[in-house]
Amino acid sequence: MPGTRTPEDTVRSFYLLIDRGSYEQAWEMSVEPNWKGVSFVPYKDEVVAGSSPNITWTGKEEFSRRLEMELGVNGIWLRLHDVEAETLGESENTVDPLLEVLSPEAVYLVRATGTLLGACTIFGWDKDLRVVRIDGEYRVFLEGTKAAKSFFYQSWFSNIEKIGTLRPGGS
């Protein structure tokens, strides 16, 4: 595990911990607003930023329980490989009102890339994430949003593209 010495290491560790099902450890290196203010949001519901006037944050138990339901115990429904991260630069803290609430020392934009193994299919993906430094520690800033009929973790991946199949003769 790369650890949290740099923004890149923090992003790589976050994804690898999710893959292993170490959800409590992944929570420790992330921060996520809870826009609904409840511990459970149904699959069919959409969650949009700013949908609650009071800012609350996703707790460890809530985060872990949600991922156990979405990805299974020990991350059995997700298989990530070759997770890489690159810092694209430092950004202003004042761009997002939530970041003002957190009062980070710095905010970095980090691009994560990797491969995702599905049922006999290999997919490539990437995601631009913000990493905040608070009290000298780096944390992945998650949006806390999701589309209707989707899971929260799905918002942590974008540009998912089929690379190939693992079966001979597959298309």
- What is the predicted pLDDT for the residue at 169? 61
- Rounded to the nearest 10°, the torsion over CA 103, 137, 90, 32 is -60
Q: What is the pTM of this model?
A: 0.90
Residue 4 one-letter amino acid: T
Pick the CATH number of 7-165 from 1.20.120, 3.20.20, 3.10.450, 1.10.1740: 3.10.450
What tokens were used for 9?
């290491």
- What is the predicted pLDDT for the residue at 101? 83
- What is the predicted pLDDT for the residue at 92? 63
- What is the predicted pLDDT for the residue at 156? 94
The full set of domain ranges for the chain reads 7-165
Please list the pLDDT of the chain residue by residue as tens digits (171 residues).
Answer: 899 999 999 999 999 999 999 999 999 999 999 998 888 999 999 999 887 777 799 999 999 999 999 999 988 888 998 899 999 988 765 557 788 788 899 999 999 999 998 778 899 999 999 999 999 999 999 999 999 999 999 999 998 899 988 776 655
- What is the predicted pLDDT for the residue at 125? 95
Residues in Cβ contact with 168 at an 8 Å cutoff, skipping those fewer than 6 apart: none
Backbone angles phi, psi at 166, to 5 degrees: -95, -10
- What is the predicted pLDDT for the residue at 117? 87
Alpha-helical regions (H) of the chain: 7-20, 23-28, 60-71, 97-102
- What is the predicted pLDDT for the residue at 33? 94
